[in-house]
Amino acid sequence: MNDLARQHSTPVAPTARADGLSTSQEVRAAYGRAIVILMALVPCTAATSRRIVAEAARSAGASPDEVAAAVLAMRVGEPVAPAVDEALRRVLADARTLPTPATGSWLPPRPDVLRRHVNHLRAARRRAVAAPDDAGVRGELEDAAYTLCILMQQRSAHGALLATEELIAANRLDAPVGRPPQRKHGPRPAIGPGESDFEPGGLAGAGPGQGRGVPPVALTISPVM
């Protein structure tokens, strides 16, 4: 075997870094952080977040790692390739689905139960944005999103959050003055086209339900809606 053939047949060790991480390890860590950040932004489960990255990568003709790096760059206001930026915005918008109609036998949870779960999801989203490397926080966010989907019989965490906020708001409006809100058993009010948990500019500092008394998640990603 000549030197050139030997060179191409010998595995090349990952580049070492001063902090002890190889380049490949750093790329995997960045991908993991991006997945958690997207979970918090949409909100969604980890599986949906990975699908967002994969679909944006296919649309932009980029690799998933490049899309993940773009998510992290956009979060701190750094520019990214226009094709990746456009693909991410489009896929994120598609991921924010509206609630689906509940079955006739579905009994809505009590408003106090819904508020507790919504507050838990909000807190998990904030912690995930602040500490995307924390596996425990990622697990908490995943569990909170999944639980809300089950409670509200929704296919997506974003749809479940919208349906929950609509139900809580309807219960609050229907309650007589001076009496605690009662559980509403009728159908939820229809959600108009384009209504979303993230207002326009939702990735630029807006959190779930901004404008409806929900504290924002501090982010600096540009608007997608």
Least confident interval from 1-10, 127-136, 216-225: 216-225
Higher pLDDT, 143 or 1: 143
Q: Check pLDDT > 90 for residue 156.
A: yes
Torsion of CA 124, 40, 96, 161, to 10 degrees: 10
The whole-model pTM stands at 0.69
Confidence of residue 175 (pLDDT cuts 50, 70, 90): low
CA distance 4 to 128: 47
pLDDT at 185: 41
Rounded CA-CA distance 117/164 in Å is 9
221's CB contacts (< 8 A; 6+ apart) are 41, 71, 74, 75, 203, 204
At residue 135, the pLDDT reads 94
Distance CA 60, CA 67 (A): 9
Measured CA to CA, the distance from residue 209 to residue 160 in angstroms comes to 13
Residue pair 1/9 in contact by the 8 Å Cβ criterion: yes
Is 148 or 16 the better-scoring residue by pLDDT? 148
Q: 83 pLDDT exceeds 70? A: yes
- pLDDT category at 192 given cuts 50, 70, 90 is very low
